[in-house]
Structure 1
């Protein structure tokens, strides 16, 4: 099946950092950063394509002051032990250094069957070993353990953020060692900004794969790949292999620029893995790329190499794209 003929991209316009979760009730649940960075919203549909027309329901709004009061970024919705959780990053408008980089990571929870209708409870900040800029958390379960992967700044390491992994005591509390999986060090990870962020986990073929995004959020934004054997000690850094080259990057020939901050889901027939990501269809960005609203949500099927590794190919053209 040709992935470019499977979805009509973009799936959802003006939604960056997209997260799609396929639940056992037959619905796809979608959340993402909204351009105003002021709230958390969820929509659902029985098809991936249908998410673009689905009603966006606001389930939480930023606070007026203090923690969680500005720049609400990169939410993800997860279903863990019978409850729904949204992980997100937020900054403090009253922070002494009121800039983009005072984010911390937070969690809200509901026990509602339908999370669009539930009452969401704030579970607080996810506390890590040190206080610094932190964002883009995701979780995954493996061998009856719950893990947390996130991006955070270490002031002893050059750059904006590295990726870390920890086991969780519960869906809002870390426990045990916290290891650094990767830092921005390769040529394609340090363009504009030194960044490793936006992790997403895909389990397949006896492996645990973690994609992540690197460099500035313009044409240079791209995806890297970490992998580990599913039977290895995931908290041993020696279990992980980092790809030397990006696995998904801009495709000017297809009118796609800066693809990244992805998630994974399954097709409606459950026969295919699906890559969900954002990208722009132009390069002329005025001002800070973070305030350009046109990182649209896109989707395409994932192919698999003979060695069991994912082959993401290139970002496919948007519907109606004509190469000039």
Structure 2
């Protein structure tokens, strides 16, 4: 099988792709963590060269919420409305410390047809009923036509940094039901360096609903796990979900791909299911890993076994030039891409 053109976007961790008709919208964490950007292309392989637009910037430091570390935006369309979820902190520290991570989940909406040129409205914090570290909200509409939100949040009574929760929505920025914890980090592979489950993503196929998530630290130990439920089950009942006991997508040293995770899902132009994820191609990180920009967005094709379970395979090798660990990120937060390769 021919290798896919990877990476699909350089220096965009936490990648999210939304297929809008015949085109693809892409967003992800901007390396300077100070804005939300969108780009559009007709093919996944064309996203790297697509023009990038800033549709929202963080509040000035010192102004409270949404003023620091803008993480993991996702763009969705709920009915006729565009919705972006993202996590933001309210610290005013110039240099990140442990106190930096005061993230909560926030929502933007746009009623215009084009989310790139349209006007975005701040809907404020999504109140989960718990005033703790929260991030990585994603959403889906089930066959019952109801919108659900899934996210990661800390419970101070449970060991670890974050667990996975679900709730049904009244509207895109308001929960309609009390949050239910679906899973917490309890397996050994979920507790390497950090005790965490985060980055949920939803894949619906046949008679099943799958939630993938990422666990452990963000180095080569980062890996994807999966929850599975019957599509006809009560999705708000934790008993409806079964967790994989082993990771379903992991580092592959043979092709220099380390720490795959924080994924999303889309389809190719001809309808084949695609895994979108970030990954580094080295482990020797200089300085604070949070500000190493080279977790690039990548893609892999998904196959399905006879039981209707997704098979993610393994990360493939790079087929495009990528910056080295010694490359310096310029002020605009984006390295120039070589066109001779």
TM-score by length of 2: 0.90
Aligned counterpart, 2:70: 72
Structure 2 residue 14 is the aligned partner of structure 1 residue 17: yes
Q: Given the superposition, is the C-alpha separation of residues 320 and 110 from structure 1 closer, same or farther in structure 2, using an over 3 Å criterion?
A: closer
Structure 2 residue 310 is the aligned partner of structure 1 residue 314: no
- Residue deviations 1:36-69, cap 9 Å, x none? 0000000000111111100110000000121000
Partner SS state of residue 188, structure 1: helix
Partner SS state of residue 167, structure 1: strand
Q: Is this contact kept in 2: 1:90–1:103, CA < 8 A?
A: yes
Partners of 1:320 and 1:200 lie apart in 2 by 26
Partners of 2:239 and 2:191 lie apart in 1 by 23
- Residue deviations 1:104-145, cap 9 Å, x none? 000111111111101110011000121000000000000111
Aligned counterpart, 1:279: 279
Gaps of 5+ in 1: none
Partners of 1:283 and 1:273 lie apart in 2 by 29
Aligned counterpart, 1:301: 301
Deviation at 1:8, TM superposition (A): 0.9
Partner SS state of residue 33, structure 2: coil
- Residue deviations 1:157-178, cap 9 Å, x none? 0111000000000011001131
| CA RMSD between the two structures | 1.3
Gaps of 5+ in 2: 322-341
- Residue deviations 1:208-249, cap 9 Å, x none? 000000000000000000000000000111100000000000
Aligned length: 315
Partner SS state of residue 254, structure 2: helix
**What are the within-5 Å matches in structure 2 for residues 174-323 of structure 1?**
174-270=175-271, 272-319=272-319
Partners of 2:109 and 2:178 lie apart in 1 by 25
Partners of 1:175 and 1:10 lie apart in 2 by 39
Aligned counterpart, 2:81: 83
Deviation at 1:314, TM superposition (A): 0.4
Partners of 1:20 and 1:145 lie apart in 2 by 22
Partners of 2:227 and 2:288 lie apart in 1 by 29
Aligned counterpart, 1:100: 100
Q: Is this contact kept in 1: 2:91–2:100, CA < 8 A?
A: no
Q: Is this contact kept in 1: 2:7–2:320, CA < 8 A?
A: no
Q: Is this contact kept in 2: 1:92–1:98, CA < 8 A?
A: no
Partners of 2:133 and 2:287 lie apart in 1 by 22
Partners of 1:53 and 1:19 lie apart in 2 by 17
Partners of 2:320 and 2:252 lie apart in 1 by 16
Partner SS state of residue 52, structure 1: coil
Q: Is this contact kept in 2: 1:248–1:313, CA < 8 A?
A: yes
Which has the higher mean CA deviation after the structures are superposed, 220-229 or 170-179? 170-179
Partners of 2:139 and 2:190 lie apart in 1 by 23
Aligned counterpart, 1:152: 153
TM-score by length of 1: 0.95
Partners of 1:100 and 1:197 lie apart in 2 by 18
Deviation at 1:288, TM superposition (A): 2.6
